[in-house]
A and B are shown apart, each in its own frame.
Chain A
């Protein structure tokens, strides 16, 4: 069971934020191109950072499912997909609740 704990935590993040898309209608998953373009540079930077840190033995992972890409566990790669997605969902939810707060990407009047 502990081997699935990291994946369960990530799944929990996705489930907890799903109502933002389905109920609040933040339209993040419905803009997949923009989401992928956002995730791509973040993945490059943070997976590189992570891989270097693992190589330098700054931190290490234990009791995971055991799948790795390079020296990174699959959980860690998913982390950098799930957490940024949740951050975007949160920003769009805040925008929904506070429409007068500018974010910087509003269409020109």
Chain B
């Protein structure tokens, strides 16, 4: 498989993670696209150094050949997949912590409200 193909698969995987698996829906949020635009500016600089100075080189047969600021255009897809996947996990873990706290709070409230019933249900 070429880098071109795997880069598209990487983007598709990150999109599926955001919209279907974790259901974080970052792709619908202004905060995500603003963050991505900022990261993209820095990615172009960093990637330009790494590829322009020859620290990373690509086999010509694996890329389509279009370059942007020294880097193959495939790197833009790779970077997008990396940022989207990272932020989807970050938001998912944050949301999960609130849900865990909320259900722990609900369990405490239930125990306080009905101590006997809660005790019986916790030791069947």
Question: Which of chain A's residues 12-31 have a Cβ closer than 8 Å to chain B?
Answer: 13, 16
Q: At the interface, is chain A mostly helix, strand, loop or mixed?
A: helix
- Chain B: which residue is nearest A33 at the CB level? B93
CB <8 Å contact, A84 and B82: yes
CB <8 Å contact, A87 and B31: no
Check: A70 CB closer than 8 A to any chain B CB: no
Q: How far is the CB of B49 from chain A (nearest CB, A)?
A: 6
Q: Residues of A within 8 Å of B, CB-based: how many?
A: 45
Q: How far is the CB of B55 from chain A (nearest CB, A)?
A: 5
B50: A residues at CB distance < 8 A: 6, 9
Interface string of A27-45 (1 = CB under 8 A from B): 0000000110111011001
CB <8 Å contact, A94 and B10: no
- Chain A: which residue is nearest B87 at the CB level? A91
CB <8 Å contact, B62 and A59: yes
B98: A residues at CB distance < 8 A: 105-108
| A-B Cβ contacts below 8 A, count | 127
In the assembled complex, the Cα of A56 lies from the Cα of B61 at a distance in Å of 11
CB <8 Å contact, B57 and A62: yes
* Residue from B25, B85, B94 within 8 A of A34 (CB atoms): B94
Q: How far is the CB of A7 from chain B (nearest CB, A)?
A: 11
- Chain A: which residue is nearest B101 at the CB level? A107
CB <8 Å contact, A13 and B42: yes
CB <8 Å contact, B31 and A34: no
- Chain A: which residue is nearest B25 at the CB level? A104
In the assembled complex, the Cα of A45 lies from the Cα of B21 at a distance in Å of 15
Question: Which of chain B's residues 38-68 have a Cβ closer than 8 Å to chain A?
Answer: 38-39, 42-43, 46, 49-50, 53-59, 62
